[in-house]
């Protein structure tokens, strides 16, 4: 499973406007659910918020992977957003979070869900790649950086 199979070019947000954790979750959920009849925005916000209440999905180095499961989905879907100034997302390393990868999976997709999380975690650990994402001037350049990095694995 490749990340670019989950995140399409139009699912890249180069400038998130929210500045707090609940607002970031709401903004990303809205983006992912917009135009997608299989994803109810309020339900997605609740799933992501409930997951964050268990433990932060901020894995450090400026990256968070808010995720959850919803019924009635046919496949895993994801989006990526960037907050250049960083957001306090209760990261394990205590640093601000800049890159957010939101992933939602069908309820019955435990194996695929875990494989996707593992791949995202692996790809987004590379500091040079993260720097390229942060410096990319627009969504197209962010997607190209993602596609290039994803092809290495």
pLDDT digits 0-9 by tens, 60-73: 999 999 999 998 89
Architecture of domain 3-150: 3-Layer(aba) Sandwich (3.40)
Prediction pTM value: 0.94
Is pLDDT above 80 for 16? yes
pLDDT of residue 109: 86
| Among 67, 82, 98, 113, the one annotated catalytic | 67
67 part of the active site:
yes
pLDDT above 90: percentage of residues in the chain: 85
Q: Domain-by-domain residue ranges, the chain?
A: 3-150
Least confident stretch, 1-5, 78-82, 124-128? 1-5
* Span 106-126, average pLDDT: 90
Helix pair 139-150, 127-135: axis angle to 10 deg: 160
Instruction: Tell me how far apart the alpha carbons of residues 57 and 89 are, in angstroms, rounded to a whole number.
Output: 8
Q: What is the pLDDT of residue 35?
A: 64
Which whole number is the average pLDDT over 21-31? 96
């Amino acid at each position: 499973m490749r990340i670019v199979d989950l995140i399409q070019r139009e699912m890249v947000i180069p400038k998130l406007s929210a500045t707090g954790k609940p607002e970031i979750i709401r903004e990303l959920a809205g983006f992912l659910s917009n135009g997608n009849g299989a994803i109810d925005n309020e339900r997605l916000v609740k799933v992501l918020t409930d997951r964050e209440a268990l433990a932060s999905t901020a894995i450090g180095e400026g990256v968070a992977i808010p995720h959850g499961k919803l019924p009635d989905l046919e496949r895993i879907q994801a989006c990526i957003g960037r907050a250049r100034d960083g957001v306090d997302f209760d990261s394990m390393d205590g640093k601000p979070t800049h890159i957010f990868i939101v992933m939602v999976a069908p309820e019955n997709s435990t194996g695929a869900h875990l494989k996707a999380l593992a791949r995202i975690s692996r790809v987004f650990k590379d500091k040079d790649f993260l720097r390229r994402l942060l410096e990319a001037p627009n969504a197209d350049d962010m997607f190209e950086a993602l596609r290039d990095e994803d092809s290495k694995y």
